[in-house]
Amino acid sequence: MPTPQVLDELLRQLRPRVCQGADLDPQTLIAWLGRQLEAEIALLDRAGEVEVSTARLTPDILASLQPVLTQLSSGQLAAAATQVGVFHVRCEALGRQVPRPVLVVASRLLLTREAQALASHVGAMFEVLRQARQADNLALRYQQAAARLRLAVFTALMAGELTLARRMTAGAVPPLLDAERLRIHLLRCPPSDRGRLIDAHQDASGYHGRGLMVRCPVYDDHLICLLPMDHDGDSADGGLAAPLQALVRDNPHYALGISAPAPLPATARAYDQARHALAVASHTPDRVADYHGQPPLAGLLPRQQALAWARAFLEPIREAPRLTLDITSLALNFPRSGVARLLDVSRNTVTAHLRRVQDALGLNLQDPRSRAELALALAITDLPLPDGNAVAEHVPTPSVDSLLSTEAAITWAHAFLQSLQLGTDRTVHQTLRAWIEAGTDAQRTAQNLGISRTTVRAHLRTAEQLLKRSLQTPGPGTHELVHAFRIADRAP
């Protein structure tokens, strides 16, 4: 056996790298073994190629060993000794998986039993480290696959496709999909913290108990947490809600927006609510906010007339490809770069699909008013049909202005703007109107009003806090503001 001193030296070679989680440099260990044995060393990989070797081990020595190396790699032999010229050569197969790596030791002197044992120890160490590296790679690929599956489940729920979400997880359906309702907790945190938080709560199935934690594919500092609700309206997530709130309490860089309970097919609505709540949370002392908002405008309009208008409005794109419609819907809620990342397409592809929709509908989707009108039409058509029946043929198609002049719409707009009118002077109100006119461009708004861009941003943050809506990212908050102003301008 090698002496304790030699084994201690071997451990000293390994300890710094293993303790630091770094890969061992095979060349360093081969060179150390060569010095210990006064021999030339080579490590051949599973393909029979030289992975590392000492400098004076010539290719012709390995070429003459080819028949033996083949037998060792294929598992026919475990070890072999031979002589090539002046060299005494000992070869040893490593591991059990065929084809096997081979350690070659060539010495001018016959190796002692202790030298052979040391070479075997080093060979075994190579194989252990190789297996550990493979296990790490497999674990990483598993984590990546689990993350992709969680994102796929989330996107299916966002589309209201509960059955699709169950089918894509066949054999390992997440407990979340057995719940009737959920709440979305939207956590804002440093991007580098998201993976650590997901790993800390992930179970062996790749889920998070009864909940689901998903890296937002659009906003790098958002962590989306889907938590099921029990029949009493309390969280049934197995303990995720409390740790999330504790994280925010203990870390000033975190904020948390929490949606109202929603059925699983209404996950998209819950996500929008969580976004609004997060905008509010960012301006509160404890940086946690629950969603408290009005019902959406689309559900308050006269159902038959609204559906007749929406269908007529969307008729030019009724036969458009599904991808075009998906991109259009997402682009109303996220930046175009985010839509490209979410669907794994190029930004140019997103732009081309949106241009096709613009041309068909005669809209300018850079204009927030056009975006709001299109979002309203899509929201109306997403609602269930009245009494389960199609729109009656005799219902005339109204104009959007007549829909927005109804008593329900006027009441909604007054309630929406009330906090804004009571909570500030006219400067915030004027900034918001100018911001809409400038296409929600803060720099142009500042130029038009003769104020700084910083002031515009400050007014937007104040409006977010008062309206309890997210305004500085594309989405329903801006659409609702546009509709509220439009209704208020026409109302008595």
pLDDT of residue 285: 86
| The pLDDT of residue 232 | 45
Give the mean model confidence (pLDDT) for residues 219-231.
87
Stretch 37-57: mean pLDDT: 85
Q: Is the pLDDT of residue 133 over 90?
A: no
Binned at pLDDT 50, 70 and 90, residue 238 comes out as low
Report pLDDT for 294. 77
pLDDT digits (tens, 9 = 90+) for 335-374: 888 889 888 889 999 999 999 999 999 999 899 999 999 9
Compute the distance between CA of residue 413 and CA of residue 295 in angstroms, rounded to an integer.
11
**pLDDT: which is higher, 383 or 266:** 266
Q: Tell me what pLDDT residue 1 has.
A: 45
Residue 30 Cα distances to 4, 52, 101, 488, angstroms: 19, 7, 14, 80
Q: Calculate mean pLDDT across residues 215-236.
A: 79
SS3 assignment for 269-317:
HHHHHHHHHHHHHCCCCCCEEECCCCCCHHHCCCHHHHHHHHHHHHHHH
Residue among 197, 183, 194, 196 at smallest CA distance from 257: 183
C-alpha–C-alpha distance, residues 462 and 439, integer Å: 19
**pLDDT for residue 62 is more than 60:** yes
The pLDDT assigned to 233 comes to 47
Bridge-based pairing state of the strands 181-188 and 102-107? unpaired
Region 24-50: mean pLDDT is 82
CB count in 10 Å sphere of residue 421: 14
Which residues have CB under 8 Å from 364's CB, separation 6+?
Answer: 358, 370
Mean pLDDT, to the nearest integer, of 170-196? 90
- How far, in Å, are 139, 420, 429 from residue 426 at the CA level? 57, 9, 5
Task: Identify the pLDDT of residue 392.
Answer: 45
Residue type, 324: T
pLDDT at 393 (0 to 100): 54
- pLDDT band, very low/low/confident/very high, at 267 (cuts 50, 70, 90): very high
Q: What is the bridge-based pairing of β-strands 288-290 and 255-258?
A: parallel
Provide the percentage of residues in the chain whose pLDDT is more than 90: 28
pLDDT digits (tens, 9 = 90+) for 89-122: 889 998 888 898 898 898 888 888 888 888 888 8
pLDDT at residue 116, rounded to an integer: 84
- The pLDDT of 124-139, averaged and rounded, is 81
Do 474 and 431 touch, CB atoms closer than 8 A?
no
pLDDT at 270: 93
**Beta-ladder partners of 181:** 229, 263
| Between 232 and 401, the higher pLDDT residue | 401
The pTM for the full model equals 0.74
Q: Is the pLDDT of residue 435 over 80?
A: yes
Nearest CA among 416, 468, 421 for reference residue 280: 468
Six token digits for residue 112? 């002692």
- The pLDDT of residue 17 is above 60: no
Model pLDDT, residue 182: 93
Pairing of strands 212-215, 262-263: unpaired
Contact 315, 282 (CB under 8 A): no
Q: What is the model's pLDDT at position 138?
A: 83
